[in-house]
Amino acid sequence: MQYSEFVQRVKDRIGITSTSEAEIAINATLTTLGERITGGEANDLAAQLPEELKDPLTSSSSSEAEDFGLAEFYRRVTEREGLSVKESTEHARAVMGALSEAASGGELRDVQSQLPKEFDPLFG
């Protein structure tokens, strides 16, 4: 999947026309996901994504994943986007939905294996 297609899928899922708004949501969500999974897994996932998506996913990752739940995931995305919790939660779900279409099923299962079950709806 090309970067422009990924951005368009996020825009379509959110129901917006602004590319910059979609890119802010993408960066906020992928940066937060990168904090929650191990650096190795972030790199594996990034290898399947367009070049423009790799840095947000891998820039904050380390060998050890931070241990936080879905509520904290949404809080961090909200803080990064500077929007309401409702808006940023919707945006995070849209980004994760597009991510589910861009990466292979095996890679998504590997990512999900590092997350609590409460994260499962994000991958639907």
Question: How would you write the pLDDT of the chain (124 residues) with one tens digit per residue?
Answer: 899 999 999 999 999 999 999 999 999 999 999 999 998 999 999 999 999 999 999 987 667 889 999 999 999 999 999 999 999 999 999 999 999 999 999 999 999 999 999 999 888 6
Whether 53 and 2 have beta carbons less than 8 Å apart is answered as no
Residues 6 or more apart in contact with residue 74 via CB below 8 angstroms: 85, 88, 89, 92
Domains identified in the chain, total number: 1
Angle (CA) 37 38 41, round 5°: 90
Flag whether the pTM goes above 0.85: yes
In a domain? residue 122: no
**Amino acid letter at 19?**
T
Please check whether residue 123 lies inside any domain of the structure. Answer: no
Q: Which residue range(s) make up the domain with 36?
A: 3-117
**CATH number of 113's domain:** 1.10.490.110
